[in-house]
Protein backbone atom coordinates (compact mmCIF):
# COMPACT_ATOMS: atom_id res chain seq x y z
CA UNK A 1 0.00 0.00 0.00
CA UNK A 2 1.75 3.14 -1.15
CA UNK A 3 -0.53 5.54 0.72
CA UNK A 4 -0.39 3.68 4.05
CA UNK A 5 0.30 6.81 6.06
CA UNK A 6 -2.63 8.64 4.45
CA UNK A 7 -4.97 5.71 5.14
CA UNK A 8 -3.92 5.50 8.79
CA UNK A 9 -4.21 9.27 9.18
CA UNK A 10 -7.74 9.04 7.80
CA UNK A 11 -8.74 6.23 10.16
CA UNK A 12 -7.46 8.13 13.17
CA UNK A 13 -9.17 11.30 11.99
CA UNK A 14 -12.63 9.76 11.53
CA UNK A 15 -12.66 7.86 14.83
CA UNK A 16 -14.52 9.61 17.60
CA UNK A 17 -12.46 7.84 20.26
CA UNK A 18 -8.73 7.00 20.21
CA UNK A 19 -8.19 4.16 17.75
CA UNK A 20 -5.80 1.36 18.69
CA UNK A 21 -3.12 -0.19 16.50
CA UNK A 22 -4.96 -3.49 16.84
CA UNK A 23 -8.11 -1.94 15.42
CA UNK A 24 -6.19 -0.44 12.50
CA UNK A 25 -4.58 -3.82 11.90
CA UNK A 26 -8.03 -5.47 11.63
CA UNK A 27 -9.03 -2.98 8.95
CA UNK A 28 -5.75 -3.09 7.01
CA UNK A 29 -5.54 -6.89 7.03
CA UNK A 30 -2.55 -7.36 4.74
CA UNK A 31 -0.28 -4.81 6.35
CA UNK A 32 2.27 -5.91 8.94
CA UNK A 33 1.92 -4.59 12.49
CA UNK A 34 5.43 -3.22 12.33
CA UNK A 35 4.62 -1.18 9.24
CA UNK A 36 1.49 0.24 10.87
CA UNK A 37 3.36 1.14 14.01
CA UNK A 38 6.17 2.83 12.13
CA UNK A 39 3.73 4.80 9.95
CA UNK A 40 1.91 6.05 13.05
CA UNK A 41 5.12 7.17 14.71
CA UNK A 42 6.25 8.88 11.57
CA UNK A 43 2.92 10.78 11.55
CA UNK A 44 3.32 11.76 15.22
CA UNK A 45 6.78 13.18 14.47
CA UNK A 46 5.51 15.00 11.39
CA UNK A 47 2.83 16.86 13.32
CA UNK A 48 5.27 17.56 16.13
CA UNK A 49 7.81 19.10 13.76
CA UNK A 50 5.18 21.04 11.88
CA UNK A 51 4.10 22.58 15.23
CA UNK A 52 0.71 23.78 13.99
CA UNK A 53 -2.70 23.66 15.64
CA UNK A 54 -3.20 19.89 15.64
CA UNK A 55 -1.09 17.08 17.03
CA UNK A 56 -1.33 13.32 16.91
CA UNK A 57 -1.32 11.99 20.47
CA UNK A 58 -1.17 8.59 22.13
CA UNK A 59 -4.25 8.39 24.37
CA UNK A 60 -5.84 5.53 26.34
CA UNK A 61 -3.92 2.91 24.39
CA UNK A 62 -4.85 4.41 21.03
CA UNK A 63 -4.21 7.42 18.81
CA UNK A 64 -6.17 10.62 18.42
CA UNK A 65 -5.79 14.06 16.88
CA UNK A 66 -5.88 16.81 19.49
CA UNK A 67 -5.26 20.52 19.55
CA UNK A 68 -2.13 21.91 21.19
CA UNK A 69 -2.40 23.77 24.49
CA UNK A 70 -1.47 27.26 23.34
CA UNK A 71 -4.63 27.76 21.31
CA UNK A 72 -7.09 26.79 24.09
CA UNK A 73 -8.32 30.36 24.85
CA UNK A 74 -9.60 30.79 21.28
CA UNK A 75 -11.44 27.48 21.34
CA UNK A 76 -13.13 28.55 24.55
CA UNK A 77 -14.09 31.81 22.87
CA UNK A 78 -15.50 29.89 19.90
CA UNK A 79 -17.55 27.63 22.14
CA UNK A 80 -18.67 30.56 24.23
CA UNK A 81 -18.60 28.56 27.42
CA UNK A 82 -16.34 28.08 30.35
CA UNK A 83 -14.96 24.57 30.52
CA UNK A 84 -16.68 22.40 33.11
CA UNK A 85 -14.10 21.71 35.78
CA UNK A 86 -14.14 19.36 38.72
CA UNK A 87 -14.38 20.75 42.23
CA UNK A 88 -11.36 20.23 44.50
CA UNK A 89 -13.43 17.68 46.47
CA UNK A 90 -14.23 15.72 43.29
CA UNK A 91 -10.60 15.94 42.19
CA UNK A 92 -9.41 14.54 45.54
CA UNK A 93 -11.88 11.66 45.35
CA UNK A 94 -10.82 11.01 41.76
CA UNK A 95 -7.15 11.01 42.79
CA UNK A 96 -7.80 8.38 45.49
CA UNK A 97 -9.77 6.21 43.04
CA UNK A 98 -7.11 6.60 40.34
CA UNK A 99 -4.14 5.66 42.55
CA UNK A 100 -5.85 3.15 44.84
CA UNK A 101 -8.09 1.25 42.44
CA UNK A 102 -9.87 -1.07 42.90
CA UNK A 103 -11.03 0.82 45.95
CA UNK A 104 -14.06 0.77 48.25
CA UNK A 105 -16.01 3.88 49.18
CA UNK A 106 -15.05 3.40 52.82
CA UNK A 107 -11.34 3.45 51.89
CA UNK A 108 -11.73 6.73 50.02
CA UNK A 109 -13.51 8.18 53.02
CA UNK A 110 -10.77 7.04 55.35
CA UNK A 111 -8.14 8.83 53.26
CA UNK A 112 -10.12 12.03 52.74
CA UNK A 113 -11.66 12.13 56.22
CA UNK A 114 -15.06 13.12 54.86
CA UNK A 115 -18.17 11.52 53.37
CA UNK A 116 -17.56 11.10 49.63
CA UNK A 117 -21.06 10.10 48.44
CA UNK A 118 -21.65 13.33 46.55
CA UNK A 119 -18.32 13.54 44.78
CA UNK A 120 -18.33 9.81 43.96
CA UNK A 121 -21.78 10.07 42.45
CA UNK A 122 -20.72 13.08 40.39
CA UNK A 123 -17.70 11.18 39.06
CA UNK A 124 -19.88 8.17 38.18
CA UNK A 125 -22.28 10.42 36.30
CA UNK A 126 -19.41 12.04 34.42
CA UNK A 127 -18.24 8.53 33.59
CA UNK A 128 -14.76 9.18 34.97
CA UNK A 129 -15.24 6.49 37.62
CA UNK A 130 -17.08 3.18 37.34
CA UNK A 131 -18.23 0.37 39.55
CA UNK A 132 -15.80 -2.48 38.89
CA UNK A 133 -17.52 -5.20 40.86
CA UNK A 134 -17.60 -6.31 44.45
CA UNK A 135 -14.91 -7.08 46.95
CA UNK A 136 -14.98 -10.59 48.29
CA UNK A 137 -15.29 -9.61 51.95
CA UNK A 138 -18.36 -9.71 54.21
CA UNK A 139 -21.04 -7.39 52.90
CA UNK A 140 -19.47 -7.64 49.44
CA UNK A 141 -18.96 -3.86 49.07
CA UNK A 142 -18.78 -2.29 45.60
CA UNK A 143 -15.31 -1.45 44.37
CA UNK A 144 -14.55 1.53 42.15
CA UNK A 145 -12.00 2.25 39.48
CA UNK A 146 -11.38 4.75 36.71
CA UNK A 147 -12.78 4.49 33.19
CA UNK A 148 -11.37 4.74 29.67
CA UNK A 149 -12.89 8.22 29.60
CA UNK A 150 -10.73 9.13 32.58
CA UNK A 151 -7.63 8.31 30.51
CA UNK A 152 -9.01 10.22 27.54
CA UNK A 153 -9.91 13.24 29.65
CA UNK A 154 -6.53 13.48 31.31
CA UNK A 155 -4.61 12.61 28.15
CA UNK A 156 -3.07 9.46 29.61
CA UNK A 157 -2.06 6.43 27.62
CA UNK A 158 -2.27 3.98 30.52
CA UNK A 159 -2.72 4.27 34.29
CA UNK A 160 1.01 3.85 34.72
CA UNK A 161 1.45 7.26 33.09
CA UNK A 162 0.00 8.83 36.23
CA UNK A 163 2.64 10.84 38.09
CA UNK A 164 3.94 8.94 41.12
CA UNK A 165 2.65 9.69 44.60
CA UNK A 166 5.88 11.23 45.86
CA UNK A 167 5.16 12.13 49.49
CA UNK A 168 3.40 8.91 50.22
CA UNK A 169 6.33 6.84 49.01
CA UNK A 170 8.59 8.61 51.50
CA UNK A 171 6.31 7.51 54.31
CA UNK A 172 6.26 3.89 53.28
CA UNK A 173 10.01 3.78 52.84
CA UNK B 1 -25.92 22.62 54.04
CA UNK B 2 -28.24 25.35 55.16
CA UNK B 3 -26.02 28.32 55.93
CA UNK B 4 -24.46 30.08 53.00
CA UNK B 5 -21.97 31.85 55.24
CA UNK B 6 -20.80 28.49 56.50
CA UNK B 7 -20.43 27.10 53.02
CA UNK B 8 -18.20 29.93 51.99
CA UNK B 9 -16.03 29.42 55.03
CA UNK B 10 -15.88 25.68 54.56
CA UNK B 11 -15.05 25.98 50.90
CA UNK B 12 -11.50 26.76 51.93
CA UNK B 13 -11.09 23.27 53.39
CA UNK B 14 -11.92 19.88 51.93
CA UNK B 15 -12.38 18.36 55.39
CA UNK B 16 -10.88 18.12 58.87
CA UNK B 17 -7.55 16.75 57.63
CA UNK B 18 -7.25 19.66 55.23
CA UNK B 19 -7.86 22.11 58.08
CA UNK B 20 -5.24 20.36 60.18
CA UNK B 21 -2.71 20.51 57.35
CA UNK B 22 -3.45 24.20 56.98
CA UNK B 23 -2.77 24.83 60.69
CA UNK B 24 0.50 22.89 60.53
CA UNK B 25 1.61 24.93 57.55
CA UNK B 26 0.46 28.23 59.05
CA UNK B 27 2.40 27.62 62.25
CA UNK B 28 5.42 26.42 60.28
CA UNK B 29 5.78 23.30 62.42
CA UNK B 30 7.18 19.91 61.53
CA UNK B 31 4.50 17.42 60.47
CA UNK B 32 6.53 14.61 62.09
CA UNK B 33 6.69 16.49 65.41
CA UNK B 34 3.38 18.30 65.76
CA UNK B 35 3.12 20.53 68.85
CA UNK B 36 -0.16 18.88 69.72
CA UNK B 37 -1.32 21.31 72.45
CA UNK B 38 -0.95 24.34 70.20
CA UNK B 39 -2.49 22.74 67.13
CA UNK B 40 -5.38 21.23 69.11
CA UNK B 41 -6.17 24.62 70.65
CA UNK B 42 -6.20 26.35 67.26
CA UNK B 43 -8.18 23.54 65.66
CA UNK B 44 -10.87 23.71 68.34
CA UNK B 45 -10.99 27.50 68.11
CA UNK B 46 -11.55 27.15 64.42
CA UNK B 47 -14.35 24.60 64.60
CA UNK B 48 -15.98 26.54 67.46
CA UNK B 49 -16.20 29.45 65.08
CA UNK B 50 -17.62 27.18 62.41
CA UNK B 51 -20.05 25.56 64.83
CA UNK B 52 -21.74 28.87 65.53
CA UNK B 53 -22.56 29.03 61.85
CA UNK B 54 -23.69 25.46 61.26
CA UNK B 55 -23.89 22.40 63.44
CA UNK B 56 -24.68 19.90 60.71
CA UNK B 57 -21.48 19.59 58.79
CA UNK B 58 -19.21 19.83 61.79
CA UNK B 59 -19.62 16.10 62.50
CA UNK B 60 -16.45 14.96 60.76
CA UNK B 61 -14.58 17.92 62.18
CA UNK B 62 -15.73 17.01 65.69
CA UNK B 63 -14.41 13.47 65.39
CA UNK B 64 -10.94 14.81 64.67
CA UNK B 65 -11.27 17.31 67.52
CA UNK B 66 -11.91 14.39 69.86
CA UNK B 67 -8.93 12.50 68.43
CA UNK B 68 -6.67 15.51 68.92
CA UNK B 69 -7.83 15.99 72.50
CA UNK B 70 -7.22 12.32 73.20
CA UNK B 71 -3.71 12.48 71.77
CA UNK B 72 -3.01 15.60 73.82
CA UNK B 73 -4.02 13.84 77.03
CA UNK B 74 -1.85 10.83 76.19
CA UNK B 75 1.10 13.11 75.52
CA UNK B 76 0.74 14.51 79.04
CA UNK B 77 1.12 11.09 80.65
CA UNK B 78 4.61 10.47 82.01
CA UNK B 79 6.59 8.13 79.78
CA UNK B 80 7.55 4.99 81.64
CA UNK B 81 11.31 4.90 82.19
CA UNK B 82 12.02 1.30 81.23
CA UNK B 83 10.13 1.02 77.96
CA UNK B 84 11.14 4.46 76.82
CA UNK B 85 12.16 3.56 73.28
CA UNK B 86 9.51 0.95 72.69
CA UNK B 87 6.69 3.36 73.53
CA UNK B 88 4.63 4.35 70.52
CA UNK B 89 4.21 8.05 69.88
CA UNK B 90 0.48 8.84 70.33
CA UNK B 91 0.70 11.10 67.29
CA UNK B 92 1.95 8.37 64.99
CA UNK B 93 -1.37 7.24 63.53
CA UNK B 94 -2.48 10.83 62.95
CA UNK B 95 0.78 11.74 61.23
CA UNK B 96 0.38 8.72 59.00
CA UNK B 97 -3.14 9.76 58.09
CA UNK B 98 -2.06 13.33 57.45
CA UNK B 99 0.82 12.34 55.20
CA UNK B 100 -1.42 10.02 53.26
CA UNK B 101 -4.04 12.71 52.82
CA UNK B 102 -1.37 15.24 51.87
CA UNK B 103 -0.06 12.91 49.18
CA UNK B 104 -3.51 12.53 47.63
CA UNK B 105 -4.26 16.22 47.93
CA UNK B 106 -1.10 16.89 45.94
CA UNK B 107 -2.02 14.16 43.49
CA UNK B 108 -5.38 15.89 43.00
CA UNK B 109 -3.60 19.15 42.24
CA UNK B 110 -1.34 17.20 39.89
CA UNK B 111 -4.38 15.86 38.03
CA UNK B 112 -5.74 19.38 37.78
CA UNK B 113 -2.49 20.55 36.19
CA UNK B 114 -2.71 17.96 33.43
CA UNK B 115 -3.85 18.86 29.94
CA UNK B 116 -7.52 18.19 30.42
CA UNK B 117 -9.66 17.44 27.38
CA UNK B 118 -12.26 20.14 26.91
CA UNK B 119 -10.32 22.64 28.99
CA UNK B 120 -6.73 22.73 27.72
CA UNK B 121 -6.87 20.57 24.64
CA UNK B 122 -9.69 19.66 22.29
CA UNK B 123 -10.67 16.91 19.96
CA UNK B 124 -12.94 17.06 16.98
CA UNK B 125 -16.62 17.61 17.65
CA UNK B 126 -18.63 14.79 16.19
CA UNK B 127 -22.04 15.29 14.72
CA UNK B 128 -24.30 12.68 16.29
CA UNK B 129 -25.52 10.77 13.26
CA UNK B 130 -22.18 10.66 11.50
CA UNK B 131 -21.50 7.08 12.50
CA UNK B 132 -24.04 4.35 12.76
CA UNK B 133 -22.81 1.41 14.72
CA UNK B 134 -22.88 -2.24 13.92
CA UNK B 135 -26.08 -3.78 15.24
CA UNK B 136 -24.42 -7.03 16.22
CA UNK B 137 -21.58 -5.80 18.36
CA UNK B 138 -21.74 -3.60 21.38
CA UNK B 139 -18.97 -1.78 23.15
CA UNK B 140 -18.43 -2.01 26.86
CA UNK B 141 -21.12 -0.12 28.73
CA UNK B 142 -20.78 1.19 32.24
CA UNK B 143 -22.95 -0.58 34.77
CA UNK B 144 -23.84 2.81 36.19
CA UNK B 145 -25.85 3.61 33.05
CA UNK B 146 -27.93 0.50 33.55
CA UNK B 147 -28.65 1.20 37.20
CA UNK B 148 -29.35 4.83 36.38
CA UNK B 149 -31.87 3.69 33.77
CA UNK B 150 -33.58 1.50 36.34
CA UNK B 151 -33.61 4.20 38.96
CA UNK B 152 -34.93 6.77 36.49
CA UNK B 153 -37.93 4.55 35.82
CA UNK B 154 -38.65 3.81 39.43
CA UNK B 155 -38.88 7.52 40.08
CA UNK B 156 -40.92 8.20 36.96
CA UNK B 157 -43.51 5.58 37.68
CA UNK B 158 -43.34 5.94 41.44
CA UNK B 159 -43.66 2.19 41.80
CA UNK B 160 -42.58 1.20 45.21
CA UNK B 161 -42.07 -2.45 44.37
CA UNK B 162 -39.30 -1.52 41.96
CA UNK B 163 -37.23 -0.22 44.81
CA UNK B 164 -37.25 -3.52 46.61
CA UNK B 165 -34.73 -5.32 44.45
CA UNK B 166 -32.15 -6.86 46.68
CA UNK B 167 -29.17 -9.10 46.46
CA UNK B 168 -31.19 -12.25 47.28
CA UNK B 169 -33.45 -11.82 44.26
CA UNK B 170 -30.49 -11.17 42.00
CA UNK B 171 -28.59 -14.19 43.31
CA UNK B 172 -31.59 -16.36 42.48
CA UNK B 173 -31.64 -14.93 38.95
CA UNK B 174 -27.97 -15.82 38.72
CA UNK B 175 -28.68 -19.46 39.48
CA UNK B 176 -31.63 -19.49 37.09
CA UNK B 177 -29.41 -18.14 34.33
CA UNK B 178 -26.61 -20.58 35.06
CA UNK B 179 -29.00 -23.54 35.04
CA UNK B 180 -30.56 -22.50 31.72
CA UNK B 181 -27.03 -22.07 30.32
CA UNK B 182 -26.08 -25.53 31.48
CA UNK B 183 -29.25 -27.13 30.11
CA UNK B 184 -28.87 -25.37 26.77
CA UNK B 185 -25.39 -26.80 26.55
CA UNK B 186 -25.99 -30.34 27.78
CA UNK B 187 -29.68 -30.88 27.06
CA UNK B 188 -30.27 -32.74 30.29
CA UNK B 189 -28.77 -32.70 33.76
CA UNK B 190 -29.29 -34.38 37.09
CA UNK B 191 -30.05 -32.39 40.18
CA UNK B 192 -26.64 -33.37 41.54
CA UNK B 193 -24.93 -32.10 38.35
CA UNK B 194 -26.52 -28.74 38.83
CA UNK B 195 -25.41 -28.53 42.44
CA UNK B 196 -21.82 -28.81 41.39
CA UNK B 197 -18.95 -30.35 43.31
CA UNK B 198 -18.17 -27.63 45.82
CA UNK B 199 -21.71 -27.11 46.93
CA UNK B 200 -22.34 -25.14 50.06
CA UNK B 201 -25.64 -24.65 51.84
CA UNK B 202 -26.32 -21.33 50.19
CA UNK B 203 -25.71 -22.69 46.73
CA UNK B 204 -27.90 -25.69 47.45
CA UNK B 205 -30.80 -23.49 48.53
CA UNK B 206 -30.48 -21.18 45.53
CA UNK B 207 -30.19 -24.10 43.12
CA UNK B 208 -33.27 -25.70 44.61
CA UNK B 209 -35.26 -22.43 44.53
CA UNK B 210 -34.09 -21.75 40.97
CA UNK B 211 -35.27 -25.17 39.78
CA UNK B 212 -38.62 -24.70 41.53
CA UNK B 213 -39.00 -21.30 39.88
CA UNK B 214 -38.05 -22.70 36.48
CA UNK B 215 -40.53 -25.56 36.92
CA UNK B 216 -43.24 -23.15 37.97
CA UNK B 217 -42.56 -21.10 34.85
CA UNK B 218 -42.55 -24.30 32.79
CA UNK B 219 -39.11 -23.57 31.50
CA UNK B 220 -37.75 -26.89 32.73
CA UNK B 221 -39.20 -30.31 33.36
CA UNK B 222 -38.08 -32.69 36.04
CA UNK B 223 -38.27 -36.49 35.71
CA UNK B 224 -37.82 -39.25 38.21
CA UNK B 225 -38.07 -42.83 36.92
CA UNK B 226 -38.30 -44.52 40.31
CA UNK B 227 -39.19 -43.12 43.72
CA UNK B 228 -36.07 -41.69 45.41
CA UNK B 229 -34.22 -42.21 42.12
CA UNK B 230 -32.10 -39.69 40.24
CA UNK B 231 -33.95 -36.49 39.35
CA UNK B 232 -33.35 -35.55 35.72
CA UNK B 233 -33.95 -32.00 34.54
CA UNK B 234 -34.28 -30.73 30.98
CA UNK B 235 -35.59 -27.70 29.13
CA UNK B 236 -39.32 -27.86 28.49
CA UNK B 237 -39.09 -26.66 24.90
CA UNK B 238 -42.01 -25.44 22.86
CA UNK C 1 -0.25 37.05 16.38
CA UNK C 2 2.66 34.87 15.45
CA UNK C 3 0.75 31.57 15.65
CA UNK C 4 -2.22 32.80 13.60
CA UNK C 5 -2.18 29.77 11.31
CA UNK C 6 -2.14 27.38 14.28
CA UNK C 7 -5.06 29.22 15.91
CA UNK C 8 -7.12 29.15 12.72
CA UNK C 9 -6.30 25.50 12.15
CA UNK C 10 -7.47 24.76 15.69
CA UNK C 11 -10.74 26.65 15.23
CA UNK C 12 -11.51 24.80 12.01
CA UNK C 13 -10.55 21.48 13.58
CA UNK C 14 -12.79 21.76 16.64
CA UNK C 15 -15.88 22.98 14.77
CA UNK C 16 -18.49 20.35 14.07
CA UNK C 17 -19.74 22.27 11.03
CA UNK C 18 -17.78 24.27 8.44
CA UNK C 19 -16.63 27.53 10.05
CA UNK C 20 -16.85 30.77 8.06
CA UNK C 21 -14.21 33.49 7.75
CA UNK C 22 -16.70 35.89 9.34
CA UNK C 23 -16.98 33.66 12.40
CA UNK C 24 -13.21 33.39 12.69
CA UNK C 25 -12.96 37.16 12.38
CA UNK C 26 -15.38 37.60 15.33
CA UNK C 27 -13.17 35.43 17.51
CA UNK C 28 -9.84 36.95 16.42
CA UNK C 29 -11.01 40.54 16.77
CA UNK C 30 -7.71 42.32 16.20
CA UNK C 31 -6.69 40.40 13.10
CA UNK C 32 -7.44 41.83 9.68
CA UNK C 33 -9.77 39.91 7.36
CA UNK C 34 -7.07 39.81 4.73
CA UNK C 35 -4.62 38.15 7.12
CA UNK C 36 -7.21 35.54 8.11
CA UNK C 37 -8.05 34.81 4.50
CA UNK C 38 -4.42 34.45 3.49
CA UNK C 39 -3.65 32.17 6.48
CA UNK C 40 -6.56 29.90 5.54
CA UNK C 41 -5.43 29.67 1.93
CA UNK C 42 -1.90 28.97 2.98
CA UNK C 43 -3.23 26.10 5.15
CA UNK C 44 -5.31 24.74 2.26
CA UNK C 45 -2.20 24.71 0.05
CA UNK C 46 -0.12 23.10 2.78
CA UNK C 47 -2.50 20.17 3.18
CA UNK C 48 -2.85 19.90 -0.60
CA UNK C 49 0.90 19.68 -1.11
CA UNK C 50 1.37 17.30 1.78
CA UNK C 51 -1.17 14.98 0.11
CA UNK C 52 -1.90 12.92 3.25
CA UNK C 53 -5.19 11.63 4.64
CA UNK C 54 -6.72 14.96 5.62
CA UNK C 55 -7.44 18.04 3.54
CA UNK C 56 -8.75 21.50 4.35
CA UNK C 57 -11.76 22.13 2.11
CA UNK C 58 -14.11 25.01 1.43
CA UNK C 59 -17.59 23.71 2.20
CA UNK C 60 -20.94 25.51 2.29
CA UNK C 61 -19.32 28.92 2.58
CA UNK C 62 -17.01 27.81 5.37
CA UNK C 63 -13.94 25.66 5.98
CA UNK C 64 -13.69 22.12 7.27
CA UNK C 65 -11.17 19.32 7.50
CA UNK C 66 -12.18 16.37 5.37
CA UNK C 67 -10.60 13.08 4.50
CA UNK C 68 -9.38 12.56 0.94
CA UNK C 69 -11.30 10.45 -1.57
CA UNK C 70 -8.75 7.68 -2.06
CA UNK C 71 -9.00 6.48 1.53
CA UNK C 72 -12.82 6.28 1.57
CA UNK C 73 -13.07 2.46 1.34
CA UNK C 74 -11.17 2.07 4.63
CA UNK C 75 -13.40 4.60 6.34
CA UNK C 76 -16.40 2.53 5.24
CA UNK C 77 -14.78 -0.56 6.67
CA UNK C 78 -14.07 1.18 9.98
CA UNK C 79 -17.62 2.45 10.30
CA UNK C 80 -19.10 -0.92 9.56
CA UNK C 81 -17.17 -2.38 12.46
CA UNK C 82 -17.92 0.31 14.97
CA UNK C 83 -19.58 -1.11 18.07
CA UNK C 84 -23.10 0.10 18.54
CA UNK C 85 -24.58 1.59 21.65
CA UNK C 86 -27.93 1.21 23.35
CA UNK C 87 -30.64 3.82 23.18
CA UNK C 88 -32.05 5.08 26.50
CA UNK C 89 -35.24 3.11 25.77
CA UNK C 90 -33.29 -0.10 25.17
CA UNK C 91 -31.24 0.57 28.30
CA UNK C 92 -34.40 0.92 30.40
CA UNK C 93 -35.89 -2.30 29.03
CA UNK C 94 -32.61 -4.07 29.63
CA UNK C 95 -32.52 -2.74 33.19
CA UNK C 96 -35.97 -4.15 33.92
CA UNK C 97 -35.02 -7.53 32.45
CA UNK C 98 -31.75 -7.57 34.42
CA UNK C 99 -33.30 -6.74 37.76
CA UNK C 100 -36.64 -8.48 37.31
CA UNK C 101 -35.77 -11.69 35.51
CA UNK C 102 -37.27 -14.08 34.72
CA UNK C 103 -39.79 -11.59 33.44
CA UNK C 104 -42.69 -11.42 30.94
CA UNK C 105 -43.04 -8.71 28.32
CA UNK C 106 -46.27 -7.50 29.95
CA UNK C 107 -44.41 -6.99 33.24
CA UNK C 108 -41.72 -4.92 31.53
CA UNK C 109 -44.42 -2.85 29.90
CA UNK C 110 -46.14 -2.32 33.22
CA UNK C 111 -42.93 -0.90 34.66
CA UNK C 112 -41.94 1.17 31.65
CA UNK C 113 -45.44 2.30 30.80
CA UNK C 114 -44.85 1.89 27.06
CA UNK C 115 -44.85 -0.84 24.43
CA UNK C 116 -41.45 -2.54 24.58
CA UNK C 117 -41.68 -4.78 21.47
CA UNK C 118 -39.09 -2.76 19.57
CA UNK C 119 -36.48 -2.46 22.28
CA UNK C 120 -36.96 -6.08 23.32
CA UNK C 121 -36.42 -7.27 19.74
CA UNK C 122 -33.28 -5.16 19.54
CA UNK C 123 -31.95 -6.64 22.76
CA UNK C 124 -32.68 -10.16 21.52
CA UNK C 125 -30.86 -9.42 18.26
CA UNK C 126 -27.87 -8.08 20.14
CA UNK C 127 -27.97 -11.21 22.25
CA UNK C 128 -28.15 -9.30 25.52
CA UNK C 129 -31.55 -10.79 26.35
CA UNK C 130 -32.88 -14.27 25.62
CA UNK C 131 -36.14 -16.15 25.75
CA UNK C 132 -35.96 -18.54 28.66
CA UNK C 133 -39.22 -20.35 28.08
CA UNK C 134 -42.96 -19.89 28.41
CA UNK C 135 -45.03 -19.25 31.48
CA UNK C 136 -47.83 -21.69 32.13
CA UNK C 137 -50.67 -19.19 32.19
CA UNK C 138 -53.30 -18.53 29.48
CA UNK C 139 -51.59 -17.39 26.30
CA UNK C 140 -48.34 -19.02 27.50
CA UNK C 141 -46.32 -15.78 27.42
CA UNK C 142 -42.59 -15.86 26.78
CA UNK C 143 -40.27 -15.29 29.72
CA UNK C 144 -37.10 -13.25 29.27
CA UNK C 145 -33.76 -13.17 31.03
CA UNK C 146 -30.27 -11.83 30.40
CA UNK C 147 -27.45 -13.68 28.66
CA UNK C 148 -23.79 -14.35 29.31
CA UNK C 149 -23.02 -11.65 26.78
CA UNK C 150 -24.97 -9.23 28.95
CA UNK C 151 -22.56 -9.91 31.81
CA UNK C 152 -19.57 -9.49 29.49
CA UNK C 153 -20.87 -6.25 28.03
CA UNK C 154 -21.30 -4.69 31.45
CA UNK C 155 -18.13 -6.15 32.87
CA UNK C 156 -19.96 -8.19 35.48
CA UNK C 157 -18.87 -11.50 36.88
CA UNK C 158 -22.32 -12.60 38.00
CA UNK C 159 -25.71 -10.95 38.29
CA UNK C 160 -25.16 -10.48 41.99
CA UNK C 161 -22.46 -7.97 41.10
CA UNK C 162 -25.28 -5.69 39.98
CA UNK C 163 -25.56 -2.85 42.44
CA UNK C 164 -28.74 -2.99 44.51
CA UNK C 165 -30.91 0.07 44.70
CA UNK C 166 -30.09 0.42 48.38
CA UNK C 167 -26.40 0.74 47.54
CA UNK C 168 -27.24 3.17 44.85
CA UNK C 169 -29.19 5.34 47.24
CA UNK C 170 -26.24 5.39 49.63
CA UNK C 171 -24.32 7.35 47.03
CA UNK C 172 -26.83 10.12 47.27
CA UNK C 173 -25.45 10.66 50.77
In B, which residues are within 8 Å of A163 by CB distance?
107, 110
Instruction: Report CA torsion sign: A152, A156, A159, A162.
Output: negative
Asked, as a colleague might, if the bond just before C102 is cis with ω within 30 of 0, I would say yes
Whether residue C77 lies within 8 A of chain B, CB to CB, comes out as: no
Across-strand partners of C40? none
The CA distance from B107 to the nearest CA of chain C, in Å, is: 24
pLDDT in tens, C86-106: 888 999 999 999 998 899 999
Cα distance between residue A19 and residue A137, in whole Å: 38
Contact present, B98 and B17 (Cβ < 8 Å):
yes
pLDDT in tens, B31-55: 999 999 999 999 998 888 777 766 5
The CA distance from A161 to the nearest CA of chain C, in Å, is: 24
Do the first three CATH levels of C4-68 and C88-171 match, i.e. the same topology? yes
ipTM computed for the complex:
0.83
Domain A88-171 CATH class label: mainly alpha
Contact present, A131 and B144 (Cβ < 8 Å):
yes
Cα distance between residue A105 and residue C120, in whole Å: 35
Other CB atoms within a 10 A radius of the CB of residue B190 amount to 11
pLDDT of residue B85: 57
Across-strand partners of C63? C19, C58
The CA distance from A67 to the nearest CA of chain B, in Å, is: 5
In C, which residues are within 8 Å of A6 by CB distance?
51-53, 68, 70-71
Extents of the domains making up chain C: 4-68, 88-171
CB contact under 8 A, C10 and A115: no
For residue B79, the SS3 value is coil
pLDDT above 60 for A105:
yes
For residue A75, the SS3 value is helix
Residue of chain C whose Cα is closest to the Cα of A24: C78
For residue B205, the SS3 value is helix
The CA distance from C33 to the nearest CA of chain B, in Å, is: 25
pLDDT band at C114 (very low <50, low <70, confident <90, very high): very high
Across-strand partners of B221? B234
pLDDT in tens, A72-97: 999 999 988 777 789 999 999 999 99
Average pLDDT, chain C: 89
Whether residue A95 lies within 8 A of chain B, CB to CB, comes out as: yes
**Probe site for chain A from C7, C31, C84, C159 (most A CB atoms < 10 A):** C7
Whether residue B67 lies within 8 A of chain A, CB to CB, comes out as: no
Tell me the percentage of chain B whose pLDDT exceeds 70: 74
pLDDT band at B86 (very low <50, low <70, confident <90, very high): low
Q: Which of C67, C70, C171 sits opposite A120 (nearest CB)?
A: C171
Whether residue A139 lies within 8 A of chain B, CB to CB, comes out as: no
Residue of chain A whose Cα is closest to the Cα of B32: A171
- Phi, psi of B80, deg, nearest 5: -65, 135
Topology of the domain comprising C4-68: Arc Repressor Mutant, subunit A (1.10.10)
pLDDT in tens, C115-169: 999 999 999 999 999 998 887 778 889 999 999 889 888 878 888 888 887 787 7
Largest CA distance in chain A: 60
The structure's pTM equals 0.81
In B, which residues are within 8 Å of A65 by CB distance?
123-124
Amino acid sequence: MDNLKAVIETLIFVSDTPITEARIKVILQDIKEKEISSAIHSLIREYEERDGGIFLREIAGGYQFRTGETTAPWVQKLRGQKPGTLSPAAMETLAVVAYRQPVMKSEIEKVRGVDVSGSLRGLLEKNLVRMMGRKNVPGRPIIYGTTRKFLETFGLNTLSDLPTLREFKELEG
Amino acid sequence: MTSTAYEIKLDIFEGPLDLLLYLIKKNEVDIYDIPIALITRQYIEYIDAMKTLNLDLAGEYLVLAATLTHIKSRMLLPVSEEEDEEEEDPREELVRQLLEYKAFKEAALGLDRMKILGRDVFGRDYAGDEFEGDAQTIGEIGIFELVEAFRRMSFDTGQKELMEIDIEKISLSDRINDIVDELEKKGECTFTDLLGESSNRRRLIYTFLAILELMKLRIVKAYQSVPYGTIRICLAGE
